[in-house]
Structure 1
């Protein structure tokens, strides 16, 4: 630290000497001009060799620092960087020394890159203390400015430090972290200019996919484990509807109806609003209208693709805390195809993941390195159309999960994508270039500038002129205070900047020890099957009741017909007397039904209809 301050002091003295020399030269030139105005020949020393003493402004422009390259990605030649001065960059020597001291941490740190002050200053490294990563962070910037590569740089270093990482690989290009990068002259020149000893290196990676859609080990969760509170927030239910959903979950538990997937919950609501109406009334506090609203929301949620996420075997979130055999943290990459069209599914999964970890992990307080770090790329999708309750849940989770040793980094285009209450919880800020081509974008730029500490930069201008792979950085130091704002040229990833080929990803997935546990979906008997059986039994009972009634009606009709026949036969026999007996006439059918054999046949028919004939 003393050597750095001494260098800074020397640079300051040099600047002061240059200033005094410039003032003397200006005074001399002014005197010469006055003599020329009086037609007095100037001293010979002034005309001897003007090129040897150029105006001081020109000398400042020709400062020995390496010039800023036209291509922001093209670094200065290795070794060309010198201590920046006020003439070569926006920061004076004192400000540079302040930045250098502000990022000189005692403990282990993640190397972000080198200060840019007209040219990269390899002696002024910008870092994030490893112990402060669980204070969360933000990586923001316009499309194509290098956000994902910054994420990759941090993930690689966290893995190397033994910290497991989880990231949603929405665009697919983050998978390159599993493949060693390729060297090039431009890459080596750039990394040498910022003091990075670059070498190709791959990180240990585990690939996941929601419900098995895409490459990766399937991740599933049960509706029961997800719970009514979080589900209500995802569905956007009001307080009354959330309370009713909680009662439905309690009823399912009481009736031993396992809620595994959305099909189970949907079937239970259909039962309670249909054949189980009596059960619904018995529960109390749930109206048919409320149950109908919940049912419609679940149906809409299912149509967004959420069905694939719910099921068994349920994923154990502690799998994300694994390290490789060599001690490096495993980088867990989640493939989320079409997430822009399914923000509710994306939000649902992330919140369940955080909530489950928060419930399972013990309190650890302040530790020297985090137990797990999340990177949420395209974070604006997490907050898109989110209800107030859902946002409150996110704020609460971000605030409290730090004590569990978990860090969260949101990656998005502009800080405006993140709610203020969440933004206030983020200790590290890495802001790539912003574009202000529209009134809304200009307003967003001004809002971003106001969120940074005071500095020697005109951030309103700097943020729009940053090169690709450059960012404005401020983090939380080891004391919990913000570091000086630093224009930073960021390090290059050691892994590939291109996606890992699909066949290599598939080979990694097939070799995963987790595939045997989570690879195949299990559809065990749950609420859907049990309720279907109940409904079949109820339908059969209804059919049996209808058949019994029909049989009873038929038996009554036959009995009445037989009775009429007997009465008719009696009257006929009494009136005809001998003539009937002599002729052996009369109604044969009536006579038969009135006989003992006819009565026996009628009894057999009735018994057959009721199904109780003795065998």
Structure 2
């Protein structure tokens, strides 16, 4: 609480009550709103002072931050289940695997009942309609895949961290594939196309529009290899996922909660960020401009958001910043869930109008620095935030949101409500059963590897190789025949036999012509081996 000098304790108490009333007045909205909890003031929870967030402002994005164990995931769950109850579809990126319980009713207990009494909550165990997904089938869930063609050269260049020249070359490769009917479905299609275009047969194909240098092709192929090692091979393929599936509502009108199970890929941040880029870009391209709505069409929650930004390239950060800034007009809200605001780039943080800040620790100089930086991101308040943020308990947070007019509400220390769904993961058997019972499972579960660029280029190469081999064999046969003929002409004649010498002699010819006798005829026949007897 900010310090002020007063004549008496009674005046101080009155001023405190006035300050609390002033804070809660900033959360008295006229339209639909989500209930977050009750105001904390001077160490006391005031159940009749409710802190809320307007439903219409959920597309203005937000941040849920705090140290490990302070209740960030439960806050995420609390907001998500109320969005679902209001008919708003929700997307949850579940890095740790502990929010699948949103699909099942919560378990009543003493702690839950105590929290409900503290904040005047009518707690009822409730599960919400949920679908479970996985990236390319890595881990449990309906596989989410994208084709290389739909991913496009711009996003692919950003993911592969190509420079401008290399990005332009990749654009030529995609253009060539489109013009020749070569479907780029998975990464081996792209790899085969790149390799073909720098081969002797493929080089002329791009000559008229700039060509593809061997050096640039090598850079792209090496980047693809590194990308594949991050697990991207499974993400690219068919059947391609239709992102409009995330916009569905259940038969009873509640919004479907789409839970992307990511524990199996939490050590593959590039794959996670790749999916995020594609998903937001795809939705942005498909959804119409709608401006401000009474409620958003879809709200995303990205848990462990620091994994998105650690080591990210400038191109990726620029892309995320632009997408966050523009996708609001499509009716889509994004919440980042992480440990400190500094985990989120400043340009992105500036777009997050709704803030739920759980406790921070100040055990080290770096912690103290992060604490001071966090305090500076809040509007002026009636609290000593630097002290308060180190004293908040689990399930308590400092909150400021955007009012229905788009202005920041007063900073409010809040004891948060308890989620009504299961606060923890459902067991593996129940998760597997839920996945296979989904109507989407038969549509997306089995991968399809139809004929595409890789197969077409391989077939052409095989045919060309076979033709070349046949031509080479014919040429070799012709060469051998010519060499044999030449050898035959140049070979020395063999020495004549005794008989040939006699027959060829002049004496013999003279004798045969002059005598003409029977004896001569007999000798002649016998010398040529005839079996005819003299008469």
Q: Distance in 2 between matches of 1:488 and 1:151?
A: 15
Q: Distance in 1 between matches of 2:177 and 2:502?
A: 76
Q: Distance in 2 between matches of 1:273 and 1:305?
A: 26
2:472 match: secondary structure: helix
Q: Distance in 1 between matches of 2:502 and 2:82?
A: 120
Q: Which runs of 5+ in 2 are unaligned?
A: 510-535
- Which residue of 2 is the match for residue 367 of structure 1? 293
- Which residue of 1 is the match for residue 61 of structure 2? 136
Shift of 1:580: 7.4
Q: Distance in 2 between matches of 1:537 and 1:283?
A: 27
- Which residue of 1 is the match for residue 272 of structure 2? 346
Shift of 1:339: 3.0
1:297-354 deviation digits (Å, cap 9, x = unpaired): 0110011100110000000000001000100000000011343321110000011011
1:68-91 deviation digits (Å, cap 9, x = unpaired): xxxxxxxxxxxxxxxxx9569xx8
- Which residue of 1 is the match for residue 100 of structure 2? 175
Of 12, 27, 30, the match for 1:103: 27
Residues 1:234 and 2:146 aligned together? no
- Which residue of 2 is the match for residue 48 of structure 1? none
- Which residue of 1 is the match for residue 347 of structure 2? 421
Shift of 1:185: 2.1
1:479-502 deviation digits (Å, cap 9, x = unpaired): 100000000001100011121111
Shift of 1:515: 1.1
Shift of 1:100: 1.2
Asked whether the equivalents of residues 134 and 370 of structure 1 are also in contact (C-alpha less than 8 Å), the reply is yes
Shift of 1:273: 2.8
Shift of 1:280: 5.1
Shift of 1:255: 1.8
Q: Distance in 2 between matches of 1:241 and 1:106?
A: 53
- Which residue of 2 is the match for residue 468 of structure 1? 394
Shift of 1:161: 0.1
Q: Distance in 1 between matches of 2:505 and 2:438?
A: 99
Asked whether the equivalents of residues 273 and 280 of structure 1 are also in contact (C-alpha less than 8 Å), the reply is no
Asked whether the equivalents of residues 266 and 299 of structure 1 are also in contact (C-alpha less than 8 Å), the reply is no
Shift of 1:545: 2.7
- Which residue of 2 is the match for residue 65 of structure 1? none
Q: Distance in 2 between matches of 1:551 and 1:246?
A: 46
Mean Cα deviation higher: 315-324 or 441-450? 441-450
Equivalent residues in 2 for 1:216-295, closer than 5 Å: 216-275=141-200, 276-279=202-205, 281=207, 283-295=209-221
- Which residue of 2 is the match for residue 393 of structure 1? 319
Asked whether the equivalents of residues 95 and 266 of structure 2 are also in contact (C-alpha less than 8 Å), the reply is no
Equivalent residues in 2 for 1:404-553, closer than 5 Å: 404-553=330-479
Residues 1:383 and 2:322 aligned together? no
TM-score by length of 1: 0.78
2:266 match: secondary structure: helix
- Which residue of 1 is the match for residue 45 of structure 2? 120
- The RMSD of aligned alpha carbons is 2.4
Q: Distance in 1 between matches of 2:12 and 2:480?
A: 109
Seen in structure 2, the aligned counterparts of structure 1 residues 543 and 165 have a Cα distance that, compared at 3 Å, is: same
Asked whether the equivalents of residues 198 and 212 of structure 2 are also in contact (C-alpha less than 8 Å), the reply is no
TM-score by length of 2: 0.90
Larger RCO (alpha carbons 8 Å, 6+ apart)? 2
Shift of 1:400: 0.7
- Which residue of 1 is the match for residue 254 of structure 2? 328
Q: Which runs of 5+ in 1 are unaligned?
A: 1-15, 23-55, 61-84, 584-615
Matched residues, number: 502
Q: Distance in 2 between matches of 1:491 and 1:203?
A: 17
Asked whether the equivalents of residues 103 and 477 of structure 1 are also in contact (C-alpha less than 8 Å), the reply is yes
- Which residue of 2 is the match for residue 184 of structure 1? 109
2:414 match: secondary structure: strand
1:227 match: secondary structure: helix
Of 76, 87, 91, the match for 1:166: 91
